Structure 1
Amino acid sequence: MVIAGFGCRAGATAESFRSALARTGARADGLAVPADRADAIAPFAQAEGLVVHAIAADVLARIDTPTHSAISMDARGVGSVAEAVALAAAGKAARIIVARVISSDRMATCAIAQGQ
């Protein structure tokens, strides 16, 4: 299973998510976001026909990510929101196969995790 994990700023649009995913060069079987951003990604998920995994904040805080952003640490207490949600949704044996990238409008990040 390949999961595209997203972090985003308030005001991110479907185009923000589309751009971030496109920049990874990957195809996803599902999407993951922090639980409080599930509504923001819903239009994009629906257009792509993909399921959204909403990840609770307490789960994110326990995940060690390959990259680290000061913005993510300050906002969410995790090195990379996109990587953390992707790993959480992909399962215990998951690994990051594409580190976080930033959308062209700088409103969203995306990372790709592979699980079993």
Structure 2
Amino acid sequence: MIVAGFGCHDGASVASLGNAYRRARLGQDAVVLATIEEGLTLLQQLSHEMQTPAVSVSDKYMSLQETKTQSEAALMARGVGSVAEAAALAAAGPGARLLSTRVMSEDGCATCAFAIGEEE
């Protein structure tokens, strides 16, 4: 299962999320979109446009993930190096690995990373 994980700043829009997705995807399409609970409403708008389900991931599960990149803002706010990477890995399940590290949208308001996990 391929999951696109998202992080975003205040002021992010659906266009920000979509741009980050397109920049991070590397030819892969996600079957699930994931983010933190506070970002789910915005992500659901993108989910509707893409006809792809969106889920939220708890801080508890995100904190168990080892991210490849480190953001000061993410570390301070969530205790993870990258919200996008941690959300993608957590939603993809045990043994998941990153397909792409976080990529920022052109407007700097959103990040996206892709992970792949075992099929269920």
- Asked if these proteins are the same fold (TM beyond 0.5), I'd say yes
Instruction: Give how far 1:11 is off.
Output: 2.2
Instruction: Give how far 1:62 is off.
Output: 2.3
TM-score normalized by structure 1? 0.95
The corresponding residue for 1:19 is: 19
Give the distance between the partners of 2:9 and 2:51, measured in 1 at CA: 23
Contact 1:99 1:111 in 2 (8 A): yes
TM-score normalized by structure 2? 0.92
Give the distance between the partners of 1:82 and 1:11, measured in 2 at CA: 17
What stretches of structure 2 of length at least 5 have no aligned partner?
Answer: none
The corresponding residue for 1:53 is: 55
Give, as a single letter, the amino acid of the residue that structure 1 aligns with 2:6.
F
1:53-72 CA distances to partner (integer Å, 9 max, x unpaired)? 20012222222211111111
1:69 to 2:71 alignment: yes
Give the distance between the partners of 1:32 and 1:108, measured in 2 at CA: 13
The corresponding residue for 2:82 is: 80
What value does the CA root-mean-square deviation take over the aligned residues? 1.0
How many residues are aligned here? 116
| Identical residues among aligned pairs (%) | 39
Give the distance between the partners of 1:10 and 1:42, measured in 2 at CA: 16
What stretches of structure 1 of length at least 5 have no aligned partner?
Answer: none
Alignment of 1:7-46 (within 5 A): 7-24=7-24, 25=26, 26-46=28-48
> 3-state DSSP class of the match of 1:98?
strand
Instruction: Give how far 1:93 is off.
Output: 1.4
Give, as a single letter, the amino acid of the residue that structure 2 aligns with 1:12.
A
The corresponding residue for 1:98 is: 100
Give, as a single letter, the amino acid of the residue that structure 2 aligns with 1:104.
E
1:113 to 2:119 alignment: no
> 3-state DSSP class of the match of 1:65?
coil
